[in-house]
Amino acid sequence: MPLGVAIPESGVRRYMGFRGPVDTSPETDAMIAKAIASLEKDCSPKYVSKAFSVTVEGFTVKLADITIESRALARNLAGCTECVLFAATAGPFCDMLVKRAAVTSSAYASCCQAAGAAAIEAYCDLINDKIKDEYEAKGLYARPRFSPGYGDLALSHQKDWFRLLDITKITGIELTDSLLMVPTKSVTAIIGLSPNKLPCVRQGCEACTMSQTCAFSRKE
């Protein structure tokens, strides 16, 4: 499977706006299955990652030559000594598939759009797990990944990610003047690494049972 990871049907349904067990028509189920199979077969994912030392003072995060002012990120990275920046893309196929599908069926185009979102999420989870395992072996524990544009972490920091990781050259992802990425199914993120082990969940603080009490939760 070129994507390297299965696209969970539950994720596709969530991106389509279905909450919980919803009965959908056999036609919709078939379109979801077709979109998943197509993307698992023809996506060409790529990623780049790089580790940096990080310091956090108040709401200021410093790494490499950049300074980030973000209350939520500073909380999430408190106690971290290292971090990994990464960028990942599912590749251009998803955008082409959605465009092609939209000509004949907006319903199928929606399935492809949702399957693409679930595909890049599953691919990022795969990378996330690799980074987590690699650093755990060195005694550093991963916090949930955090992306520019989330909470008060300004989307303009995308430019720093692109410069520090040489993203366009390595992955082919382009950053538009309005800070959108092309292909659209692309993600940039930071993962904090701390010597203190927390019961973090990959799905993020929003899904963590500790979110109301944890001092490092990005969800206040």
Q: Which stretch binds ligand SF4 (CB under 6 A): 18-26, 130-138, 181-189, 208-216?
A: 208-216
Task: Say how far apart CA 161 and CA 216 lie, in whole Å.
Answer: 23
What sign does the dihedral 86-206-81-155 (CA atoms) show?
positive
The residue within the footprint of ligand SF4, chosen from 143, 153, 169, 197 (CB under 6 A), is 143
Nearer to ligand SF4 by Cβ, of 47 and 216: the residue is 216
> Residue 99's closest CA among 91, 90, 108, 86?
108
112 counts as binding ligand SF4 under rule CB under 6 A = no
Nearer to ligand SF4 by Cβ, of 61 and 111: the residue is 61
CB 89 within 8 A of CB 186: yes
Burial 152-190 (b: 16+ CB within 10 A, else e): ebeeebbebbbebbebeeebebebeeeeebebbbbbbbb
Cβ 215 to ligand SF4, closest distance in Å? 8
Nearer to ligand SF4 by Cβ, of 113 and 217: the residue is 217
What sign does the dihedral 220-81-198-146 (CA atoms) show?
positive
74 counts as binding ligand SF4 under rule CB under 6 A = no
Q: Which stretch binds ligand SF4 (CB under 6 A): 118-126, 154-162, 177-185, 196-204?
A: 196-204
Cβ 194 to ligand SF4, closest distance in Å? 9
The count of residues interacting with ligand SF4 (CB under 6 A) is: 13
CB 59 within 8 A of CB 69: yes
Residues binding ligand SF4 (CB under 6 A) = 143-144, 198-201, 205, 208, 210-211, 214, 216-217
